[in-house]
Structure 1
Amino acid sequence: MSPETGLRVVVTGATGNVGTSVVKALGDDPRIDSVVGLARRIPAMTARKTRWAAVDLAADSATDRLHELFAGADAVVHLAWRFQPTHDPVITWETNVLGSLRVFDAVAAAGVPAVVHASSVGAYAPGPKTEPGVDESWPTHGWPDAAYCREKAYLERVLDAYELRHPEIRVLRMRPGFLFKEGAASEQRRIFAGRLMPGPLIRSALLPVVPDLEGLRFQVLHTDDAAQAYRLAVLGGVRGAFNLAAEPTVDAEVLGELLQARVVRIPRQVVRTALSTAWSLHLAPASPHLFDAVLRLPLLNTARARSELGWQPTWSSTEAIEEFLRGVRRGSGEPTPPLVGRKAG
């Protein structure tokens, strides 16, 4: 694959938070001739150089369809992921793990020279919460109690074996921190807070306190910046894993400033018990196991992405969060089935 020639790229999960940004970034690059965006449902949105195709990765019929769509592609960017339902991990496993296996097998069968897989900070084993953070050699065992982390870690093991079987394929694993943009705000509210939580509640007058929890330090990245890293991964000759995150690291103090709220030290178990009760009663969609994982995830060192990909975030982490909060309050969303904007309350 030569960056001097026009490239054909296929993107799975192209209508989600990351996918919509990736197809735009690819379409804006003159070295990309065409993009095929795959999703379970065809969206109303348009993107430069992009045509859409419907594929459900959880279905057995996806195998033949993927072989057809991948034929002649120069790279596949694999973003498809299902976060819900957290109460039925078999359903997410069918899409996230079995669907990914179909994608990887189809890449090899079609002779695609490169696959860029959306891994995550969630694939990492618990680690230090201090700068400069862990590099890409940190163990990717995940937090076993959280389905999201368990599935991301499992696919890391799958790709370890896959690279040994297919050394001719350039395999890249992107491991970003938490990704936010205004156009995905409504979806993320529905996924993590629930459909009934009114967006206008997320303002300082109604959220006067931010809990200061042990381990509450994490990294954020604007989704459009992550998309640029994916674009560079497609075009470059590199392979392997890349951590992606922006500065500054987010903690209770940073959140308190963003929300103009008072920071109060609260025992972790108090919050965990409340989340567990809400989740058990189906009042909150995000599981307490994911809460446990977030408080244990290591901070990321992004030196490799900056030096080998030539990547640099243009948004700070606080700017990304501010845009997300604005989107939640407005009910913002992009014209795709997952991201469609909707206010609650």
Structure 2
Amino acid sequence: MSTRVVITGASGNVGTALLHRLAEAGGYTVTGVTRRQPPATGIYRSAQWRQLDLADHDATTRLQSVMGDADSVIHLAWGFQPTRNVRYLDAVGVGGTRAVLRAADVAGVGQLVHMSSVGTYAAGRYGQYVDETWSTAGIPTSAYSRAKSAAESLLDDYEHSHSDGVTIARMRPGFIMQRSAAGGLRRYTLPAFVEPSWLRFLPVLPLDRRLVVPIIHADDVADAIARTVERRAAGPFNLMAEPPVRRDDLADALGARPVHVPSSMLRPAVALSWRARLQPIDEGWLDMAFTVPLLDTARAQSELGWAPARTSSEAMADMGDGFKNRADTESPVLAYRGPLTSVLRDLRAGPITARKVP
């Protein structure tokens, strides 16, 4: 008998990796829920699809019908753009999590696996390892971090008031990379007129020498999620690969010379360029990069029998190869758009930081 899973955000970065992982394992019937439905090609043929924006007012009701006989719901859907429309991002992230949780409860789903993030953690241990008991208060200046923290608070409230309700697991990975996500990451993080392969000609990397961040490959995140479903595991799980990535590692990957520029000087430059619509990342992402802790993964190793198959360097190299070769997938979320296409879309529909559909 197959295990029926419903995956929100199933056509995105982690969702695509998870589809591969479940298909390889066999024994799963998958329903993918996404705002932009992928074509029935490649790995996306392995799932049935329901098109739904979790920010819609009727999302809870519509999700209930999708989750009717699901054994597990894996909630991956999240918004990264438009960064100028925080109300919509919160409606997708926090409101969407609320809708998924309510629908899963009403539908009697046995397990909910929620994709949280290192971004849910509070400041105070930068460059040091924390386990899952560290505060999930988030980083106040980061809209992404605030929303991840608020989503976890929803889960906390539910667990406190529903002792016999849905079993909840929370995955807290570091920054997730893979080759086939390069197309999507290019749109969300680089100016529309920049071709990612041009980064190899960057002569210097002006960045604070203190930088140290947790990195993990999407395939390793997918493996942890699959193991969580297989074991019907509950609770939070930190996920990262070793060693932590430092500024000089990024410079080496780009073939650039590292130059120390304090984050306090970088922040106004990022803020001003974002406000001037020269690039799509606001200063909250920089704050988070220089604030979040490293992740102790002992619980995932002991409870799930999990260990990352790729080092952080291998994960970065895989993403770098994707940038150089314009890697993407058939999914609209991960599809590659070159500079000309991106600029024309900005002129027609507005910049990615402001329009509803990135």
TM-score range normalised by the length of the shorter chain: over 0.9
Query: 1:210-232 CA deviation, whole Å, 9 max, x = no partner?
Result: 23415410011111111011111
SS, match of residue 83 in structure 1? coil
Pick one of 225, 228, 245 that aligns with 1:250: 245
Contact 2:187 2:337 (8 Å CA) reproduced: no
What residue number does 2:192 align with?
A: 195
**Residues 293-332 of structure 1 aligned to structure 2 (within 5 Å):** 293-332=288-327
Displacement after TM superposition at 1:49 (Å): 4.0
SS, match of residue 278 in structure 1? helix
CA distance in structure 1 between the aligned counterparts of 2:286 and 2:196, rounded to whole angstroms: 21
Displacement after TM superposition at 1:293 (Å): 1.5
CA distance in structure 1 between the aligned counterparts of 2:192 and 2:224, rounded to whole angstroms: 31
Displacement after TM superposition at 1:100 (Å): 1.2
Does residue 124 in structure 1 map to residue 124 in structure 2?
A: no
Does residue 56 in structure 1 map to residue 53 in structure 2?
A: yes
Pick one of 155, 158, 162 that aligns with 1:159: 155
Pick one of 149, 156, 160 that aligns with 2:145: 149
Contact 2:42 2:330 (8 Å CA) reproduced: no
Displacement after TM superposition at 1:50 (Å): 1.5
Letter of the 2:183 counterpart: S
Question: Higher helix proportion, which one?
Answer: 2
CA distance in structure 2 between the aligned counterparts of 1:113 and 1:330, rounded to whole angstroms: 42
Query: 1:299-318 CA deviation, whole Å, 9 max, x = no partner?
Result: 11111111111111111111
Displacement after TM superposition at 1:6 (Å): 2.1
Gaps of at least 5 residues in structure 1 are none
Structure 1 residues 318, 174: closer, same or farther in 2, change over 3 A?
A: same
Does residue 283 in structure 1 map to residue 284 in structure 2?
A: no
Does residue 338 in structure 1 map to residue 340 in structure 2?
A: no
**Residues 26-37 of structure 1 aligned to structure 2 (within 5 Å):** 26-32=22-28, 34-37=29-32
What residue number does 2:86 align with?
A: 89
What residue number does 2:262 align with?
A: 267
Pick one of 4, 7, 16 that aligns with 1:8: 4
CA distance in structure 2 between the aligned counterparts of 1:146 and 1:307, rounded to whole angstroms: 32
Contact 1:129 1:215 (8 Å CA) reproduced: no
Pick one of 207, 211, 228 that aligns with 2:206: 211
Query: 1:240-282 CA deviation, whole Å, 9 max, x = no partner?
Result: 0000000111011211222222222112222212111110111
SS, match of residue 314 in structure 2? helix
Displacement after TM superposition at 1:16 (Å): 0.7
When the two chains are superposed, the root-mean-square deviation of aligned CA atoms in Å is 1.4
SS, match of residue 28 in structure 1? helix
SS, match of residue 242 in structure 2? coil
Does residue 221 in structure 1 map to residue 204 in structure 2?
A: no
SS, match of residue 112 in structure 2? strand
What residue number does 2:109 align with?
A: 112
Percent same amino acid among aligned pairs? 39
Contact 2:70 2:109 (8 Å CA) reproduced: yes
SS, match of residue 258 in structure 2? strand
Contact 1:214 1:295 (8 Å CA) reproduced: no
Letter of the 1:139 counterpart: S
Letter of the 2:293 counterpart: P
SS, match of residue 202 in structure 1? helix
What residue number does 2:66 align with?
A: 69
CA distance in structure 1 between the aligned counterparts of 2:69 and 2:141, rounded to whole angstroms: 40
CA distance in structure 2 between the aligned counterparts of 1:245 and 1:266, rounded to whole angstroms: 26
Displacement after TM superposition at 1:28 (Å): 2.0
TM (norm. structure 2) is 0.91
Letter of the 1:124 counterpart: Y
CA distance in structure 1 between the aligned counterparts of 2:16 and 2:163, rounded to whole angstroms: 30
Letter of the 2:202 counterpart: L
Query: 1:64-118 CA deviation, whole Å, 9 max, x = no partner?
Result: 2111000010000000001111112001011111111110000000000000000
CA distance in structure 1 between the aligned counterparts of 2:262 and 2:124, rounded to whole angstroms: 20
CA distance in structure 1 between the aligned counterparts of 2:209 and 2:268, rounded to whole angstroms: 15
The count of corresponding residues between Structure 1 and Structure 2 is 337
Contact 1:330 1:343 (8 Å CA) reproduced: no
What residue number does 1:78 align with?
A: 75
Contact 1:209 1:263 (8 Å CA) reproduced: yes
Query: 1:17-67 CA deviation, whole Å, 9 max, x = no partner?
Result: 1111112212222342x0001101210134364111111111122222111
Between stretches 133-142 and 206-215, larger displacement belongs to 206-215
